[in-house]
Amino acid sequence: MKSDLLYGLGSIGEFLGLTKKQVHHRAKNGQIPTFHMGRIICANANDLRAWLATAGHGGNYAEH
């Protein structure tokens, strides 16, 4: 079974179609659901799918 963990800005960006810089900016501002494993920004693919379905690209995750 494949893990839903997206480890690092590159993996998250590839999943969302964003650059690493865009992912970092959005994560820093609470616009996408991410968490840290040490110093690495990570995300759960299922959480991102749910976020996309409700908040979309312009939503602020911190508000949901």
| Residue 50 belongs to some domain of the structure | yes
Q: What is the pLDDT of residue 58?
A: 56
40, 7 in Cβ contact below 8 A? yes
Could you tell me the pTM of the whole model?
Answer: 0.81
| Residue 18 belongs to some domain of the structure | yes
Domain count, the chain: 1
| Residue 26 belongs to some domain of the structure | yes
4-60 pLDDT, tens per residue?
A: 999 999 999 999 999 999 999 999 999 999 999 999 999 999 999 999 998 755 555
> How many CB atoms are closer than 10 A to CB 61?
18
- Range of 29's domain? 5-59
Strand order from edge to edge, sheet including 5-7: 5-7, 40-44, 35-37
How far apart CA 15 and CA 6 sit, in angstroms, is 8
Listed in order, strand segments (DSSP E) in the chain are 5-7, 35-37, 40-44
| Residue 64 belongs to some domain of the structure | no
